[in-house]
Structure formats: structure tokens, C-alpha cells
Amino acid sequence: MREDSKPNRWVTAALLTPTSLWFLFMLIFPLIVILVFSFGERAAVGGYAGGFTLEQYANLPSRLKAFQNTMIIAPAGTLISLLVAYPLAYFLALRVNRRYKLMLLVLVIVPFWTSLLVRTYAWIFILGGRGIPTLLEFIGIEGVRLINTPGAVLVGIVYGYLPLMVFPIFVSLEKLDKTLLEASSDLGGSPLKTFMQITLPLSMPGIATGCMLVFILLMGEFLIPAFLGGGKVYFIGNALVDLFLQSRNWPFGAAVAVTLVAIMLITVSLYMRMTMRSNTGRDESLM
Amino acid sequence: MRIYAIAVFLFLYVPIGIIVLFSFNAGRHASELRGLSIQWYGKALSNPFVGDAFVTSLIVAFSVAFLSSLMGTAAAMALQRLKGTPRILFDGLIYISVMIPGIVIGIATLVALVTVFDFLNPLLASIWPEGTKPPKLHMGYASVIAAHTLFTMSLVIILVRARIAGMDRALIEASMDLYATPWQTFYQVTLPQIYPAILAGFLLSFTFSFDDFIISFFVAGANTTLPIYIFASIRRGITPEVNAIGTMVLAASLALLMTAQFLLRKRSQH
């Protein structure tokens, strides 16, 4: 294409205009407003009253429990999802007949694109009073309470986000050069050794991507703790809904939201730096 | 290993199966199965609130899918010609809008729009001719559609760009060499090659918007989408009617996903 000709440049600009306007008005502007609000004061009737104060940030410890829950359960949920997802991704990528591979992968991913609301609701049903606890009573175990516990929230998390973890790991295992595995076993490497020294390191990029995707979504999670934590196990997302829609304390809510985004950015950039370093290290050692 | 895989598949699908099964419950209580019947589907379909919420969701999801596939495709076409800082800037914005949690987008959009409306409404009222009622800007269809489109537009850009990257450039060059205008080249050469990705993007955008709860919860104003209605019903108590609505929602997104999958598969057969 005649890339530098003048009319082409105008076409490029015109094609990008709607997208640019969207980014400007629906992403950049709202994020700036939220940042400004977080330094403001609460109006008597709720909402925002202007001013510049650090009061809202000083008040953050009053929502400490929500931050603690999120910072403990989100990483734990990510780790459990990884442990559940890895063997499945491994099985699908390396042990399944080519003919069924794609179909099975699609079966894993499809639930992710259906309503998280309805899928999480299913677990209220299963874990609630008339679900598993009733079944347990039949075999003589009584008084088991499953719903509204951290465990219930973790089950919901693994259920909701498992597909998102399986997919990137599957892709990295699928790309893996199978002759390396054969070479390792030909040279007398035990299956465990082959896994630890070849399969696992080479699937690291997939693990890193999957963990990052799941972790980011979990940091902003609202539905799962709202349904399965029942007001006892709540996340930052639940605190945000309360602050914006119930108590209408916008400046404080804005401060909580800004802190959430800040924590996410810091964790993700640290994590990316860590995984990138270990990736390049491995590439060198392979050569 | 095989047993483990079967167990995980059961874990993924049994809860969905339970919802579907209990939606055919003949009894009045959600958790006791007493024979099968389709009465709750009749109840759900004749409930005017469900009907209204369904129509609202459809309007929103269709507008979102239409806008995002149009703008996303346009942007994806333009981005391949963009280099240097603008390119990095756009890539960054695309990734931020995909990665940022829905709840943050919901809150930020709510706060920003309410602030803008509070500023604009008195202004509109003051310049409006005496005696007529000035328009009042408020949250509604436009705000939900705009907020959903931020995410889905970026999704379409990513999908279409991947397709463009895998396209045969020689065809475009041949078309240009044969004196086709850029528009002819786009319409006759590029578009037929990228349209499966655009359609898949359309369907995924539709599904995302149709299923989204948290963004709509903040910015839908007085409009109730289907997920908002389901959320409110669940808060009031679990009934077989909710199961029936949930089953229909799942079935709708499944049908769309199958179509998207079929189209993406077609793409790879080129």
C-alpha cells in the first residue's frame, strides 16, 4: 500500500476517530474524574462536594476487612485454579487424540462465555441448606454449613474462572516441541524429570498469562462473594457497590477504587517483571 | 489422567445441568424436585418484568455488537498502518480497556456521567426557550451501550487484527497493481477474508453485553437488563422461575457461541 500518501493518512485518522473518542470519553475521562473525586469531600446528601483532602485515603483502614479478604482469597483462588487447570490442560494438549482435541477445548471454554451470574447462582443451590448439606444428613453427617464461607467463595472462583486458566496453558503446551519430550525419555530421563525440566518450564508463559488474567478479574470480583459469601466474606468489589449505590459516599468510594487499581497495577507489573526475567533466563540456558 | 479430566468436565457441567433440571420442576419449591413440567417457563415468559428486561437486554446487546464490530474493524484496519508512539498509545489503551475490571469501568462511568449531566442540565435549561420543557440528560440506554462498547470494541480490534495478520498480503498488492481503488480492494479482497472474524467479534460482543451484570448495575439508570432482574430475583429468594430464566439465558448464549465458534473455525480453513 502507498503508505505515506496524504489521502491515506486522512483515511487512517478518520477510521481511528470513533475509537479515539471512545477511549477519551469512556476510559481516560472517567478515570481522571474518579481520581479527582478521591481527593474530595462528601456532600451532606451524598455525592461529591469538591475540595482537596487526603481524608478519604486516611479512612481506608475502615474497609480493611474487604482489602484483606481480596488480597488473601484472590491469590489463593488463582493458585487453586492453576492446580486444577494444569493437569486438564496437559491432558488436552498432550494426551488427547487430535480429532477430539479442539472439541474438548471448546467444551472447557464455552462456560466462560455464558452468564457468570447464572453459573454462580447454581452454586447457591448446590452449597445452600437444601443442597449438599441435606445429602450429608442422609449419611448421618449433620450441621455442615457450606455457603457463606471462604471455601464456598473459593469453589465459586475456581468454577467461574477455570476456563480462563486452562486456555493459555493449553496453548503453551500445544506449541511445545514434542521431540524434546522424546529426546528426554530416550536419554533415560524419568517421566517426572522430563516434566520438571522440560514440560513445566516451557509452559511457564501460559501459566503466567493464565494466573495474571484470573488474578486481575478476581481483584474486581463482586458477584461470587455477593452470592456465596453472603455478607460474611466480602471483597473490595462488594465494598464499592455498597459505597456507591447504598451509602452514596462517592469520594471515599473513589479512593477505594483508585487504591484497588493501584494495587492491581503494582502487583501486575511486579509479576510481569518477575516472569519476564525468568523467561529470558531460560531462553539463554536453552541455547 | 483421563478420570481426572472427566471429573473436571463434570465439575464444569453438573451445576449447569442442575439449573436446567430444576427449571423443569413441577413442584413449587425450588429445591425439591417433584415431577417434570414446563409451567415455570410459561410463568417466566408471561411475566411482564421479564419481558421488558429481555427486550432492554436485546436492544443494548444488539447496539453494542453493531457499534463495536463497525468501530473495531475500522480501527483494526487503520492500526496496521500506524507506527511509532501513536501505535504504542493505542495498543496500551486497547489492553487497558480489556484488562480493567468491569466494576471500575462501571463506577468511573457512573461518576463521570453524573458529574457531566449535573453540569450540562442547568446549562441546557438556561438556553432552552421559555415555556418548553428542557431535555434532561440521565443514565439509560446510551450510558450502558457506551460503557459495554469500550470493552467489546477492543475485543473486536484484537480479533480482526489477528485475522489481518494472517491474511495473504499478495492479494492486496495484486489488487492495487490491477488499479483497483482502495475501496474496491477493501470491499472485494480484504473484507471477504476478515468477515468471519468480524462476525465472531459481533457475536462475542453480543454475548458479553447480554450477560454483563456489573457494568449495567452501575450505569443502566432506571433500565433493568435481564441480568439485573435475575440478580434482584435471587436476592428475593430462589424460585423455579429464576431457574427457567437462567436456563433460557444459558441457552441463548450457547447458541451464539456455537455460531461464533463455527465462524472462527471457518476462518482457519481458508
Mean of the per-residue pLDDT values of chain B: 88
pLDDT tens digits, B29-41: 666 677 788 888 8
Check: CB of residue B1 under 8 Å from CB of residue A95: yes
Q: In angstroms, what separates the C-alpha of A274 from chain B's closest C-alpha?
A: 19
ipTM for the predicted complex: 0.88
Q: Is it the case that residue A123 has pLDDT exceeding 60? A: yes
Q: How confident is the model at residue A82 (pLDDT cuts 50, 70, 90)?
A: very high
CB-based contact (8 Å) between A34 and chain B? yes
Percent above pLDDT 90 for chain A: 47
Exposed e or buried b per residue across B95-131, where buried means at least 16 C-beta atoms within 10 angstroms of its C-beta: ebbbebbbbbbbbbbbbbbbbeeeeeeeeeeeeeeee
pTM score, whole prediction: 0.88
Residues 148-207 (B) with a CB less than 8 A from some CB of A: 149-150, 153, 157, 172, 176, 182, 204, 207
CB contact under 8 A, B217 and A19: no
Confidence band, pLDDT 50/70/90 cuts, at residue B270: very low
Model confidence at A262, pLDDT cuts 50, 70, 90, reads: very high
Q: Report the sign of the C-alpha dihedral through residues B104, B106, B108, B109, in that order.
A: positive
**What part of B 93-152 touches A (C-beta under 8 Å)?**
93, 96-97, 99-105, 107-115, 146-147, 149-150
Which whole number is the average pLDDT over A139-145?
77
Query: Is residue A146 within 8 angstroms of chain B, CB to CB?
Result: no
pLDDT at B226 over 90: yes
Contacts of A240 in chain B (CB under 8 A): 103, 107
Per-residue pLDDT band at A191 (split at 50, 70, 90): confident
Quick one: pLDDT at residue B209? 95
More confident residue, B71 or A144: B71
Query: In the predicted model, what is the mean pLDDT of residues A53-63?
Result: 89
pLDDT at B132 over 80: no
Q: Do B1 and A118 touch (CB under 8 A)?
A: no
Task: Return the pLDDT at B258.
Answer: 82
Does the pLDDT value for residue B72 go beyond 70? yes
Closest residue by Cα to residue B99 from A201, A262, A81, A214 = A214
B78 contact residues in A (CB cutoff 8 A): 11-13, 15-16
Q: Given a cut of 50, is residue A1 above it in pLDDT? A: no
Contact B211 A114 (CB under 8 A): yes
Residue with more model confidence, B261 or B97: B97
Chain B CB contacts of A217 under 8 Å are 101
Q: Is A21 within 8 Å of chain B by CB? A: no
The pLDDT tens digits of the residues spanning A192-211 come to 888 888 889 989 989 998 99
* Of residues A12, A123, A216, nearest to B78 (C-beta): A12
Residue of B11, B111, B250 lying closest to A30 (CB–CB): B111
Number of H helices, E strands in chain B: 12, 0
Burial of A166 (0-12, 13-18, 19+ CB in 10 A): buried
pLDDT band at B96 (very low <50, low <70, confident <90, very high): confident
